[in-house]
Each structure stands twice: as C-alpha cells, then as structure tokens.
Structure 1
C-alpha cells in the first residue's frame, strides 16, 4: 500500500536520495513543476518507470492537489510494477508552491507573493510579556509586530505603542487577531490590484499550515511590477 506523505516528509525523502515524479501530462509539467522532479505521465508509467526510475530507491509521486486522483493511481500502479518504496504526495504541487518552495517551468516568469515577501518582518511570541515587548516596541520604529506561537503560526498583529502595551496583561489582549493572509504562490499582479481596490497597504504571506513566510507591501510590489513591465 503506497504511503501518503506531507511536504516535510517529501523533503526528508529527497534529502535521502528519493526520486520525485510528476505524473501529470507533459504540458502541465513544462508549465510549472517542483524543482528536481522528473515527468512520467500516468499513461506512460508502464513503459517508462523501469527505464527511468531506480526500484531500490524511494519514489514520490505527485499531481495537482488533494482533489486530483492521478498521483494515487500512479502510486498504486508503481507498486504493481514492483516498486517497493512508493510514496504519494497527495497535497501536490499546489501545496509545494503555496509554501514558496523552489519551482521550475515556464510559469516561473510570473512573479508571486512569496518571491518578494520580506521574511525579516518583526515578530513577537504570543506568550511573551507585554512589558518585554513594550521595550522592543520603544526601540523598533513603527511598533509593528506579527504575533506568532512556537511553531511560527500567525495569531495576530500588534501595532500598539509602548505605553499601551505596558497596560495589557497578555499579548493576546493587545493584538489584532485573525489578520488576512495570502499564500506564497499568489500571482503578484492581480494581488496588487485587489489590495488597491480594498485600500490594503500590506499583507502577510503564510504557508498552508499558517506559518509566517513574510510581509508583502503594496508599494514594493508595485515597484517590482513596474521594473519588470
């Protein structure tokens, strides 16, 4: 029975010599694929798998996303062809790209949110002392923080000044919960247009699990688009 794996397990298997295979048609692969993957479309597996893959090494197959059944079918077919270590990355390349991980293909020319998000945005721990954060806020121009937990999942944003922070018992009381976020694979041009329409100056970019990847400002995004026009 092929084993279903998540993104982190895929990265671990690749580091140990695993073989990554996109089983979608060649046109989809050429458009955009996970860096390092080869392409063997599902209908070609019987003919090409033994020629192009090492049966002694793990094989990870993927397609679009959870709703796409091509990779589960490919994984089961590989097992019937005699491959012993078969893994199905069911979240697929949509999940990989949403996390801002390396990609290849024609579509890489399209700028995405994750390409320009600033990972250096100031952060603070949701369990930190408001007084301690107040000291940071006093020294930090702008007084803006993204509130994270120990897994770097976004809980809120904090823009209170130092005096306001000192009056709060917890960071949760001071923060603005549930800020809007986008994934790293969000195309930049339509995103900037939506930000303009809604009067949004900046937006957080997160991985599918909610971990912070960075902050995208509309001003910088507009500069990038103008420079590549």
Structure 2
C-alpha cells in the first residue's frame, strides 16, 4: 500500500534528501496555472505510459492532486505501485495545503502576489502572559500599532492593539487582547480580501498556515499600494 503523507515538511525532506519525484495528477490546465516546484504532470489515463517514460523506478515518487477530498492521487499512487514503483507516497492534503502554507510555487500565475507574499513576516509577536509594559516596548521599538498574540508554537491566539495596551496600567497581554481574530491563508487572492477588509474596517489580518501558525501580518495599506501600482489581480 502506498504511504500516505500528511506533512508538507516530509514532502520537502523526501525531495531534498531522497531525490523523490513529484507528480501532479490534476488536468494539465490546472497544473500549468500553478504547481509545486519541479513537479511533473501526468493524467490518470496517461499514467501507465508516462510513468515508464518519465519516472525512475529506483527513486521515490510523490503524487498529489487538489486536496484531501480529491481521490486522483490515491488512485495514481495505487497504480504506480502496481507498475513496479516500490516507494510511492500520496501527499493527501495536496496542492491546496501547499499553497495555503505559502510555500514556493511555479506556473503561469505563480508570480501574481497573494496574501502570503505581501504579509509582513517581521511582525511583533507576544504571548498572553507577557506584561503589557514588555509588549508595548516591542510595539514602540518597531513602530507598529498592532502585534500578534501567539502560543509557544506560534499558533495565533489574538491581536494586541497599541492603544488598548497603553490605556491600561499594569497587567498582562491576556487582559486586553482581541481574541479569535479572523485569519487568512497564504494563497488568498488580494483584491477580494482588500474589499472585505475595507467593508469591515479591518486594518490588518494575520496570515496563517492550515494549522494556525503565524506566517505574517497583512495590512490593508500595503495591499492598497499594490492595487494602485496595478500589481494585484482579481484572483
């Protein structure tokens, strides 16, 4: 039975350390739009012929499709094993998981900026038990009006606004944080997001991976500048 991969970091490891071959089994037009770096495209109907012509049976093979609900990669992995490939992996979360985490991509639309590309990766971060004085010092030092509150694993817990922290004497971040803020994935198109932020009056939104880990902070002003320069498409 092919090995099911759920961890995108394991995909990285297999490709970099064990020279695994990446294969996307979605239709060619979807592959050409955007795909994982170095991936080959093979449809299920052409898999038998192309696998023999383009793949090395001595090297591991990782197949992927759209997401966990797509069965193309599972079917392709099963067939590759029948064709004599011994190390076959099915990257179950697929391309949706990879792109949502803001990892490198190739293809026709790969250069179009997305939320993860524009987000500030050097955002001030604090924890719930940090004193407000300490958190304010970090915000002042960076000149930021908002910081992101995370746990020890960098999972987003809330936001800390400078004005809220400055208005309270003493205490810790947990006393004034804005809990449960909306977040977006790294592959979110910018123009629809900007429209939503403008309607709701949101100045900044955390960008997270599918596990809720902080990737950066996306500020509305940054997106507006890109739009003004004509660098943002509808997505």
- How does the TM-score come out when normalised to structure 1? 0.92
Instruction: Give the distance between the partners of 1:145 and 1:226, measured in 2 at CA.
Output: 26
Q: For the aligned residues, what is the CA RMSD? A: 1.8
After TM superposition, the runs of 4+ consecutive aligned structure 1 residues lying more than 4 A away are 137-140
Unaligned runs of 5+ in 1: none
**Structure 1, residues 134-180: CA drift from partner, whole Å, max 9, x if none?**
5435545345321112221111111233562x532x43233111111
State whether structure 2 residue 162 is matched by structure 1 residue 161: no
Q: CA 1:138–1:220 in 2, change beyond 3 Å: closer, same or farther?
A: closer
Match for residue 30 of structure 1? Answer: 32
Q: CA 1:104–1:167 in 2, change beyond 3 Å: closer, same or farther?
A: same
> Any conservation in 1 of the 2:132–2:165 contact (CA below 8 Å)?
no
Tell me by how many angstroms 1:182 deviates. Answer: 0.5
Tell me by how many angstroms 1:125 deviates. Answer: 2.8
- Total equivalences in the alignment: 227
> Any conservation in 1 of the 2:27–2:43 contact (CA below 8 Å)?
yes
Structure 1, 124-133 or 53-62: larger mean CA deviation: 124-133
Instruction: Give the distance between the partners of 2:182 and 2:33, measured in 1 at CA.
Output: 29
Equivalences for residues 1-229 of structure 1 within 5 A: 1-5=1-5, 6-16=7-17, 17-137=19-139, 139-142=141-144, 144-159=146-161, 160-162=164-166, 164=168, 167-168=170-171, 170-228=172-230
> Any conservation in 2 of the 1:138–1:162 contact (CA below 8 Å)?
no
